[in-house]
Amino acid sequence: MCLKLEMLSDEKYYNNKKFYKITYGLHLPESNMSSQIIPVYFKKYYCPRNNYDDDKLKSAQLELLEFRNFIYEFKEGSNIQEGVDIISSMVCQILDNNEKENIVFIPIPASSKEKTEQRLKEFSESVAKKMGCVDGYGIFYNKKYRKPIRYGGIDLTESNFNEYIGINESKCDVLKEKDIILFDDIITKGNSLKLYSAKLKKMGANNIIGVFFGRTYNPRFQIILNNIGEMYDKRGII
């Protein structure tokens, strides 16, 4: 199966809600539908350390450095409650008055079983409880360790997905005709969004929404680092 994730509309910033929206189309060759529309929401831009050191980022925009620190701390299992507050607030604004009991919150696993549990178990349970939806932690689980790309690891693909990621078949029934909130800390190219969304659709999920803390900053966004603070202020990014 050859999946395709196509960006249908690039970022749109909502000043009243303080987050962004991107719309993707997921093309599923095995589906009768031509595509599945997946709206994606994120809070801020994320500048990786390998491209932007602390000093340069601090001089350009302190809040971007603070946000990056939050992301790294969250990855290590800290700042869980702050993460819960950010995501639950975003989701409640996105869903408005939708029936939360028909929604399943599913976090995308980290690189290892230990990291997934440390980072996401309490977080997912707390987000689901705060929103009044179903906690989908554990529907996807780590079969074996996969070295993160930022440390020279390999990317997750259609061909190796089942090697690294398992699906808890006993929990799949809860997904049928349910709307899904699919969470990860950062979205870059949308590869994980594509792979996990395709699996969820195959398991009978209805609509899928992607929610992330941040989107990786890329030079193609036409923001020069030296002017990043000015550009961000003008566009209301922070």
Q: Is the pLDDT of residue 60 over 60?
A: yes
Give the three-state DSSP class for 20. Answer: strand
d(CA 162, CA 157): 9
pLDDT at 58: 75
> What local confidence, expressed as pLDDT, does residue 185 receive?
97
Higher-pLDDT residue of 71, 101: 71
Instruction: Give pLDDT, residue 177.
Output: 86
pLDDT tens per residue across span 187-215? 999 999 999 999 999 999 999 999 999 99
Tell me how far CA of residue 167 lies from CA of 20, 53, 86, 172, in angstroms: 30, 38, 27, 8
Band (6; pLDDT cuts 50, 70, 90): very high
Report residue 221 as tokens. 């966004």
Rounded mean pLDDT, 9-13: 88
In this predicted structure, which of 13-17, 60-64, 105-109, 211-215 has the lowest mean pLDDT?
A: 60-64
Which of 25 and 14 is assigned the larger pLDDT? 25
Query: Other C-beta atoms within 10 Å of 124: how many?
Result: 21
Contact 61, 230 (CB under 8 A): no
Alpha helices in the chain (DSSP H): 54-60, 62-75, 80-95, 113-116, 122-131, 161-164, 191-202, 228-235
Q: How many CB atoms lie within 10 A of CB 17?
A: 14
- pTM: predicted TM-score of the whole model, two decimal places: 0.89
